[in-house]
Amino acid sequence: MTATVTLRQEKTILTDSYRVVSTIVSASPTGMYPLFVIQEGFDAYNEVYQRVATLDDLALYTENPLITIVAGTPGDFIALTPGQTIEITNALTVVPQWFDTYFVTALFEIATVDAAGNWLTVTSVKPFPTAASGLAWAKTGGGPSGVGAKTRRADTSPTTYLRRHWTSLLGTVRQAESRVTAIEAYVESVVDLANTHGITFERIETVVYP
Residues 73-95 pLDDT 10s: 999 999 999 999 999 999 999 99
Q: Residue 197: what pLDDT?
A: 78
Q: Which of 7, 5, 4, 8 is nearest to 102 (CA)?
A: 8
Q: Residue 32: what pLDDT?
A: 95
* Host H or E run for residue 85: strand 85-88
Q: Residue 198: what pLDDT?
A: 73
Q: Residue 10: what pLDDT?
A: 96
**Model-wide pTM > 0.85:** yes
Half-sphere exposure at residue 117, Cβ-oriented, CA atoms within 13 angstroms: 13
Q: Residue 207: what pLDDT?
A: 67
* Residue ranges of the chain with per-residue pLDDT less than 70: 199-207, 209-210
Q: Residue 125: what pLDDT?
A: 96
Output the DSSP codes for 182-193: HHHHHHHHHHHH
Residues whose CB is less than 8 angstroms from the CB of residue 16 and which lie 6 or more positions away in sequence, other chains included: none
Q: Residue 103: what pLDDT?
A: 95
DSSP 3-state of 135: strand
Q: Residue 205: what pLDDT?
A: 53
* Phi, psi (rounded to 5 degrees) for 171: -80, -25
